[in-house]
Structure 1
Amino acid sequence: MKKWLAAILMITVLIIAGCSNDSGGVSTDNSTIQKVLKEKKLVIGMSPGYFPFDMKDPNGNFVGYDVDTANALGEALGVKVEYKQFTFDGLIPALQTGEVDMIFAGMTIRGDRALAVSFANPYFQTGQAVMVPGSDTKSKTWQDLDVKGNKIAVGIGTTGALLAKDVFKNAQILDFEEFPSAAAAMAQGEADAVVYDEPAIAVWKLRNEDAVTQLEGLISTENLGIAIKKNDFETIQWVNSFLSSYLGSPTELASHAKWFESSDWLDEVVDE
């Protein structure tokens, strides 16, 4: 990241901290940003398996668009970034108990989640898509799959899971720990389709070519956000300032091009 961007963001931290100590300002007693600066470490919760946002390479290192974004955020703060892995439905409890400082996991901003955590401004827009086996030449839309006897695989706790359980009235919904497990179940004939975020399904299609088909259109559109401890306004304000400078910057554009406009990295990651 450019030195000037890091300097601007550090100045923002100092300004916020100064204002917070004034009478009537925001309390920093429970500020994540102050804790991170004091400990010189930012702990990120992730759930690898969400391509191309959160993945691991063969050496066990976290890689992906979210990792690039988190690393840039850590660099702006001048702190070390540490990653901890959880199942997706274990991420919010980990944030609430202080086991992690923030969640970077392609998490959709939703009202129910906002009752438990706070979100910074959206950093990516996506939507829920449907994937079927390549041998399925009859299904054209998700409605074609909503018949008794069909099984729809989803990742437990994800937006796709909640949406599928809402819109599919006749098909059976099967919960799996993560997207790769749901996709593998479909490949083995245990499910007729998978509902998940469009970028991950698009990448799975690249990796498996004619073995799978992505149906046209999206069931929904949604914004992804970085989850922060509930009502931690100082940290939310700083992360929003970071995002306004980072998104669209040369660093972010290079990351986006690598993970979303190329498939060269596909052989450098492993399924979780």
Structure 2
Amino acid sequence: MKKWLVAVLMITMLIIAGCSNDSGGGVSTENSTIQKVLKEKKLIIGMSPGYFPFDMKDPNGDFVGYDVDTANALAAALGEDIKVEFKQFTFDGLVPALRTGEVDMVFAGMTIRGDRALAVSFSDPYFQTGQAVMVPGTDTATKTWQDLDVKGNKIAVGIGTTGALLAKDVFKNAEILDFEEFPSAAAAMAQGEADGVVYDEPAIAVWKLKNGDSVNQLEELISTENLGIAIQKNDFDTIQWVNSFLNSYLGSPAELASRNKWFETSDWLNEVVDE
């Protein structure tokens, strides 16, 4: 009986040791992003300005937009003494920056996708959107994205975005052109270098507000998707805290005011610059 008890105790100790080992892919509570931010009194956010109306800059170079409001609210919920620092990257440079610890979180209107979830973890969704198609205002014949899928047509996308992956999957005949960011893709279409642009619906809707009849947005969405905050892989302490924050923030007076400002009005369009 004693030998049996000793064996059980040894197995239990091995299990406990294994669970506490970070080699299992998790992040210990002591080393979590939340604990780091609380200790250093600073939250570093990775963004990719140019994604209207989520991530933008004003003429002074300050970050503005719905994601910026959300990030500032998150930091304030951690404590009044927490400062926020925004760092700019190209969209496809955001995940590497998060994985190497250059930033603490990514707020970039990032779609929750399985391939990305292999490299980072995501919060619960904080916004639902979809992929839309924009065409020149002179194009009155195109009614659906399928109409654009013709040999000789060119579709502009932002490299590394969900729209880019989706376009390369669904367009079988048209050529897909990669651009660094959405404004570059839209500018290429305006210059006659592309016949359409595939990108997130809110950004295209804002572009339509800015450019009026020079562009058209097709009514049908190619897809619907959820946006999430990207966090270090398996940082469960931080994931749980961020989800708790979102649960209280979404639908609050502050969030509704932010949503109304950026998605329901256009007064701010003259206060931001294209990246």
Provide the TM-score with structure 1 as the length reference: 0.91
Unmatched segments (≥5 aa) in structure 1: 1-22
Indicate the residue corresponding to 2:23 in structure 1: none
* Pairing 1:196-207 to 2, within 5 Å after superposition: 196-207=199-210
Work out whether 1:195 is the aligned partner of 2:178. no
Runs of 4+ in 1 over 4 A off after TM superposition: none
- Could you tell me which of 265, 268, 271 is aligned with 2:271? 268
Is residue 145 of structure 2 the alignment partner of residue 149 of structure 1? no
Alignment deviations for residues 108-167 of structure 1 (CA, whole Å, 9 cap, x no partner): 000000000000000000000000000001100000000000000000000000000000
From 114, 134, 137, give the equivalent of 1:134: 137
Deviation at 1:216, TM superposition (A): 1.1
What secondary structure sits across from 1:175 in the alignment? strand
- 1:98 is displaced (CA, Å) by 0.2
Name the counterpart of 2:38.
Answer: 37
Mapped partners of 2:128, 2:31: distance in 1: 30
Unaligned runs of 5+ in 2: 1-18, 21-26
CA deviations on 1:153-212 (whole Å, 9 max, x unpaired) are: 000000000000000000000000000000000000000000000000000000000000
Q: Which residue identity is paired with 2:43? A: L
Structure 1 residue aligned with 2:256, among 253, 256, 259?
A: 253
CA RMSD of aligned residues (A): 1.2
Q: Are positions 1:110 and 2:113 aligned together?
A: yes
SS of 2:29's equivalent in the other structure is coil
Aligned length: 250
1:57 and 2:62 correspond: no
Q: CA deviation at 1:217?
A: 1.1
AA matched with 1:179: F
1:75-103: CA deviation from partner (whole Å, max 9, x where unpaired): 11121000000000000000000000000
Q: Which of 119, 123, 135 matches 1:120?
A: 123
Give, as a single letter, the amino acid of the residue that structure 1 aligns with 2:194. A
| Residue of structure 2 aligned with 1:96, choices 92, 96, 99 | 99
Larger radius of gyration: 2
> Between the two proteins, what is the percent identity of the paired residues?
87
